[in-house]
Amino acid sequence: MAVGVFDSGLGGLTVLSALEKRLPDVPFVYFGDNANTPYGVRDADDIFALTCTGVERLWDEGCDLVILACNTASAAALRRMQESWVPEGKRVLGVFVPLIEALTERQWGDNSPPREVAIKHVALFATPATVQSRAFQRELAFRAIGVDVEAQPCGGVVDAIEEGDMILAEALVHSHVAALKRRMPRPDAAVLGCTHYPLMEEAFRAALGPEVAVYSQPDLVAASLEDYLMRHPDMRGADGENAYLTTGDPVAVGHKATWFLRRKIDFRPA
């Protein structure tokens, strides 16, 4: 048994990398749906169907617990999956909740009523589908009051990253930050609400300026999973090697992944 990590493509590797570092004894199986990326421009039914297919593939690999290391899938499909699709004995968790718990200064899993928090103006950068779902605002409203959220759909950034065109990705980040700042000139915090964006974190920080606190998911998701596995040790994988699956071309995806993470990663066909 291992813990499954799902993404539409390469972005979830930023989360996987933090998970492997924090939980070196837990085996992970990664699934990248590179043949169907990006999800961020698809409609909710499409994202739901693709995410369910990927998660079932991870269940076939023995992963009873799957982390959706994809905000777009977490935003557009997770609630529906949990309410109507995930069978007894399996768990699917998303990446929004750990991020929002950190932003609202809560302990992991603290479900107490919403309260006032220090942060008042939040800039959210995410895919068009995530922004359209308003899932971030909904999860935030369960935990905090009086926070103003301005969301920027960052069209094109995921495509540029998947194609390895980091110059284009950087130019797009600067223009999306400028667009957001026209509507919210002084955010206290910025949320990188797509797991591809940590690969562009420096560009976001440079465009936002030093006074904006940047919240990025990989380390937060890893800390929260460690806490979850302590409370649910039965979901912790026993042994086994890490594995990397893709619906795309395993050689091409492996090259890009190796380049992004600066270590050799071999993918096999999903």
Smallest distance, ligand DGL to C-beta of residue 10, A: 8
Q: Are 47 and 40 in contact (CB under 8 A)?
A: no
**Of 139 and 236, CB closest to ligand DGL:** 139
Give residue for tokens 């594995």: 243
Q: Are 144 and 114 in contact (CB under 8 A)?
A: yes
- Token pair of 27 as six digits: 């085996």
Tell which positions 40-69 bind ligand DGL, by CB under 6 A.
40
Tell which positions 66-105 bind ligand DGL, by CB under 6 A.
70-72
Tell which positions 138-167 bind ligand DGL, by CB under 6 A.
158
Return d(Cα 57, Cα 40) in angstroms, integer.
21
**Of 35 and 206, CB closest to ligand DGL:** 35
Binding mask 203-242 for ligand DGL (x = CB under 6 A): ----------------------------------------
**Of 17 and 237, CB closest to ligand DGL:** 17
Q: Does 247 bind ligand DGL (CB under 6 A)?
A: no
Q: Does 37 bind ligand DGL (CB under 6 A)?
A: yes
Question: What b/e string do you get for 205-237 counting C-beta neighbours within 10 Å, with b at 16 or more?
Answer: bebbeeebebbbbbbbbbbbbeebbeeeeebbb
Smallest distance, ligand DGL to C-beta of residue 244, A: 16
**Of 8 and 224, CB closest to ligand DGL:** 8
Q: Are 40 and 127 in contact (CB under 8 A)?
A: yes
Query: Is 194 among the residues known to form the active site?
Result: yes
Return d(Cα 242, Cα 97) in angstroms, integer.
25
Smallest distance, ligand DGL to C-beta of residue 136, A: 11
Give residue for tokens 């690969």: 199
Smallest distance, ligand DGL to C-beta of residue 69, A: 7
Q: Does 7 bind ligand DGL (CB under 6 A)?
A: yes
Nearest-Å Rg of the Cα atoms of the chain is: 17
Q: Which of 130, 133, 216, 247 binds ligand DGL (CB under 6 A)?
A: 130
Return d(Cα 123, Cα 152) in angstroms, integer.
8
Q: Is 251 exposed, middle or buried (0-12, 13-18, 19+ CB in 10 A)?
A: exposed
Please identify every residue annotated as catalytic: 70, 194
Which residues would be at the binding site for ligand DGL (CB under 6 A)?
Answer: 7-9, 11, 37-40, 70-72, 127, 130, 158, 194-196
